Structures are given as structure tokens and as C-alpha cells.
Structure 1
Amino acid sequence: MEKSDIINFSALEKELHAALEADRKYQRENDAKFRALHQNVASYEEFRDIVLASHLKPLDKKDIYGAPRKQPWNTVAAELKHESPSHEVVEPQLTEIEPRSTSEFSRDWRRFGGSSYEKYNLLLKLGGKTLQEIFRTEVCFGLLGEFLVILSQCLKSGDEETVIGVLDGLSKTGRFGLNVSLLSQAEQKACEELFNRLGEYYPSNNVSSVMSLEYNEPSGVCEVRHVESDKTDILVKLRALMEKYGSQN
């Protein structure tokens, strides 16, 4: 038997456990959202705390004096802090990742740990249409804000059109409006900065200058008209996305 034919059952078992845990996490947080809505919580912070604390058992939600225990804002970071130092995280190769469901995506996303650049490349590799299909029900709680922060931090020249495609695909996922309303102030700021940078690449005055060039250069009419049309379409899409994401540019 060749080495490539040997099945790594240990790795398969780990992936299965990760996928099951991702499914349980999604269902748990989804149930917590509905509970919070039915309880008519008084503020967004209270709503978010209920969802973030959904993984705790009832007895864990009180301290030794019986008072409600404050939950950390970033529970994922808190869990990682208590992770065993011997826990080995093997970073996957981007070419190997082809998630087709929320559980598969969550598994692969976690495997990149704190590598924003790798996560950025993953979002661009998948593209808007694939992300829309993966998150057709909804983007998992907290992920939309993380996506926006990473896209804002890592955006580089030449990626603008692909990033707009990613934003467009995410805007067509289930419960998108609710997820936007739950963005933190830091995530909202990252969203603003992202659209500001995209707007710099597709300014309105560029369209008029291209139209002028088309009129004065008859020999290049067909080529210039195509460029102007593409730029205009992207600019229209960008403005529509700014409205969907609540960006006040």
C-alpha cells in the first residue's frame, strides 16, 4: 500500500468533531437570538451578551455569590487563553480549502487562527457567490463584523473589484439586515473605512473624464466605452452596497 493511500483516521476524527461543534454552536446561538428577542431586551449590548453566553450552562452564569457573572466581549479569545499550550494548530494550505457549508467554513476559518492575511485571501478565493451560497441562511453570529475588519485591514490595490464582489455576496445572505444592526462600533468604523478606500478607487469624477475621452477620440470609441461602462456598473453597485451596509459616505 502506498503512503498516499493510508487514511489518517485521527485527522478525520478531529475534522468530524470540529464540524459537529460548529453545527452545535450555530444552533445554540440561533436559539439564543430568539430567546433574546422574545425577552424584549432593553439594549443591543444585552442582546449580544445573551448570544455570546449561550455556550454556558445555567450554573455557570452566576458567580459564587449568586450574582450574574459578566461575560467577556470576545468569548473566542477567552477560550483560546485557556487552551493547552501543547495544542498544536496546523495551518491549512489555501488551495486545499473548499468549504460548502457553514460548519465546514467555521472549521477552516478557525484553523487559520489569528492570521488576518490568510483569512483575507480565503474570502477573496471563495468570492461573493460562494459565500452567498455557504451563508444562504445567515452569516454566523459575529462573523460579518470580523469579515469587514479583515477586508478593511488587508485591502490592497488590485483587489477592489473582488472585494466588492465579496461584499455583494454577503449582502444577499439571510438575516443580513439583522447582522448589520448588530455590528459593534469598531466593526462599523472598519466598514466605513473599507468603503472610503473603495470609493477612492472608484470616484464619481473618473466616470465623467472617461466619457470626455470617448467623445474626443473617435478612433478609440469602442475600447473606451467598454471601460467606462464597467466602471459605471461597479460604481452603481458600490453605492448600493454602501446603503445596505449603512455606510454614510
Structure 2
Amino acid sequence: MAEDEDSVDLSALEAELQAAIDDDARYWRENDAKLRAVEQKVATYDEFKDIVKACHLRPLDKEDKLGHSKKATVWNSMAAKKQQSLALEMTQHCVPTSIKGEETRVPATMSEFAEQWRPLDICDRLQLLKRMGPATLGQVLRTEIPVGTLGEILQALLAFPPTTDDIILVVQLLEALAQAKRFSLSLRFLSSVEKATCRQLMEKLNSSLQNRQQDLAEHGVTEWSVLELKNKYSV
């Protein structure tokens, strides 16, 4: 187990996340813009994209500083802290534990899923995905993946413990996600951090295949399976 965990290049993830922090300072404003665009029921993808792009346009306040002084980046400190915290969460494996609210039934609709999903941390989100399984998740997301949900699911999946059963389940869940309506649109709007998460997830799957090829192949999971997922997720 220790060798599998050490094989994940955590330093590469941290470097990618650090490089993406500046770009993703705007992430939360973009997310709000996406939600507004969906609520407004925009007619075309181009119109949707324009709304998201325009969310960054605002007049400078008197306190805004230009140039290279330390004060110039004060406005970005909260975003930086959020991304650094996220980086720490994503480099850790979730240890299997009893599921909070285990008596709560598995969500059968998108509204039920969203209600259970929102308040959970990454490890509890991973447990919820395990409870649902690929068939139920695919059924819930059959209409479409809501804005921002794909990135959150990828973040939760990255925390999987590299056991044979978990590897199989993660591959199956990723395949189910790729079948959802508007999956391609959701993929386009992943933030830089979420794209880095997706790449790291594929790398973790690859490294987790070592010494398990025979057991995994019996369940249809091979290096070719991961390669196909990389293509579907544009990694």
C-alpha cells in the first residue's frame, strides 16, 4: 500500500496547483456567472461563454493597486488560501470509515443528490459516490451535469484509496459520468485546478494498476481502459 501511495507524484500536483492559483482567483466569479447563464436559459453556447468571460469586467476601486508591489495581490489572498487548502485535501487518501447519515437513502434525482452533496467534505462525497455506484449516478445525471458538479466529483474521486475494489469503482464512475448529457460542455468549463485534478486522477489510476493487472483485468479494467478515459476527459 505504501509503495502505491508513494508512486503518486504529489510534488507535480502541488506545482500545477500553485501555477494555477492566479488563473483561478476568478474561479468563484466564473461559477456564479455560469449559474446565472443557466438560470437565464441562454440560447447558444457562445452566449453562455460570453457571459462567463464578461464576469471579470469591473471598474477598479481606489484600493486596487497596479504594478508589482506586495499590495497588488492582496485581493487574491482568499482565493490563494482556498486553492492551497484544496491542494492539501486532494493529496490525501480518504480512509474508509462508516458513512455519516448512513440511514439516508441513496439519492434518486438530481435535486436529492444536490441536497446531500453540497454540505459534505471530500471524503464524505467519495463515500456518497460509492453508495450510489455507476448505475445510479448515471441515472441521476442522465439529463445533464449541473454547472460545477463535474469538477467537484473529480476532486472527490482523486481521494480514493488505491485498493482493487476502489480502482474498479472509480473507473466505472468516470465512465458513467462521460455518458451524461452535456458532459463535453461541463468538461470545457473545468477550471485550471479542476483540469489539474483530472490529470492527477488519471495518473493515480495508472500508477494504481501496478501489481494488480490480473485482478483488475478480470473486471475489465486495464491500461487501455484508463487510456480511453484520458481521451474522453481530454487529458
What range is the shorter-chain TM-score in? 0.5 to 0.7
Query: Aligned partner of 2:232: which letter?
Result: K
Report the equivalent of 1:234: 221
Q: Does 1:182 align with 2:200?
A: no
After superposition, where does 1:161-240 map in structure 2 within 5 Å?
161-202=168-209, 227=215, 229-230=217-218, 233-235=220-222, 236-240=224-228
SS at match of 2:181: coil
Task: Tell whether the 8 Å contact from 1:138 to 1:175 is kept in structure 2 after alignment.
Answer: yes
**Where does 1:15-94 land on structure 2 (aligned, <5 Å)?**
30-32=38-40, 34=42, 37=45, 39=47, 41=49, 45-46=52-53, 49=55, 93-94=101-102
Q: Which residue of 2 aligns with 1:67?
A: none
Structure 2 CA distance for partners of 1:230 and 1:155, relative to 1, 3 Å: same
When normalised by structure 2's length, the TM-score is 0.59
1:46-86 deviation line (CA, Å, top 9, x unaligned): 17x49xxxxxxxxxx99xxxxxxxxxx99xx9xxxxxxxxx
Match of 1:70 in 2: none
2:140 aligned with 1:134: yes
Provide the C-alpha distance between the structure 1 equivalents of 2:201 and 2:156, rounded to a whole number of angstroms.
Answer: 10
In structure 2, the residue matched to 1:120 is 126
Query: Residues 238, 33 of structure 1: CA spacing in aligned structure 2 closer, same or farther, 3 A cutoff?
Result: farther
Higher relative contact order (CA 8 A, sep 6+): 2
Question: Runs of 5+ in structure 1 lacking a partner?
Answer: 1-25, 51-60, 63-72, 78-90, 211-226
Cα deviation digits, residues 107-134 of structure 1 (max 9, x gap): 111242xx21111110111111111100
Tell me how far apart the structure 2 counterparts of residues 173 and 104 of structure 1 sit (CA, whole Å): 17
Task: Determine whether 1:151 maps to 2:192.
Answer: no
Query: Alignment length, in residue pairs?
Result: 164
Contact 2:100 2:124 in 1 (8 A): no
Q: Percent identity?
A: 24
CA gap of 1:206–1:96, structure 2 versus 1, over 3 A, is closer
Contact 1:164 1:238 in 2 (8 A): yes
**Distance between the aligned counterparts of 1:126 and 1:138, measured in 2?**
17
2: distance between equivalents of 1:132 and 1:170?
6
Aligned equivalents of 1:92 and 1:111: distance in 2? Answer: 12
Contact 1:92/1:111 (<8 A) preserved: no
CA distance in 2, matches of 1:198, 1:36: 36
Q: Distance in 1 between matches of 2:149 and 2:227?
A: 23
How far has the Cα of 1:180 moved from its partner? 0.6
Please tell me whether the aligned partners of residues 94 and 122 of structure 1 are also in contact (alpha carbons under 8 angstroms): no
Instruction: For 2:157, give the aligned amino acid.
Output: L
Unaligned runs of 5+ in 2: 1-33, 60-77, 83-98
- Report the alpha carbon displacement of residue 230 of structure 1 after superposing the two structures with TM: 2.0
Q: Of 98, 112, 117, which aligns to 1:109?
A: 117
Q: What SS does the corresponding residue of 1:96 show, helix, strand or coil? A: coil
